[in-house]
A and B are shown apart, each in its own frame.
Chain A
């Protein structure tokens, strides 16, 4: 419960600071929002590391192919960072850069998913009576 309060507190404090600083030095507002984002993401990362360890343990127990899980975790990492950058770009009003970053991260994620799709097709072909 206290994590939620901590995150909300940081969010509100940074909003108040941004309003104060925005009148005099607009560029510092972006820095404050960036640092607030980084701090809040650190709290989220602690929780996410527990989730990832849980997933890994489940995957080992079930004996499933763990390479797919590795790829999936990598994808979430890329999406995690890309979303951070995209929201900062949009916040500062640069929608074109935000879209380019989003496009690039989507391309990387899709290129990482190719082995999974390939294996899926192989399994399907095996099942089909040829």
Chain B
């Protein structure tokens, strides 16, 4: 449970935004949409892993 997760997600967000702009300027809107979706999927897997570990901790702790 470390803080660099925050920076990782922010970095992916900014990277996807920049890529989106660059690809849009280059006239390839489809690739731009693809990179955005890829970024969202990557971040989503990270977030879901963290949330599931939080829920497991809470379950064992509170005896749910």
Contacts and interface: CB of A to CB of B under 8 A. Distances in A.
Contact of B50 (A25, A38, A74, A78): A38
A27 B40 contact: yes
Interface residues of B, number: 33
B51 to A, nearest CB: 6
Contacts of B64: 74, 77-78
Is chain A's binding surface mostly helix, strand, loop or mixed? Answer: helix
Contacts, number: 92
A101 interface: no
Contacts of A27: 40
Interface of B: 1, 3, 5-7, 9-10, 12-14, 16-18, 20-21, 36, 39-40, 43-44, 46-47, 50-51, 54-55, 57-59, 61-64
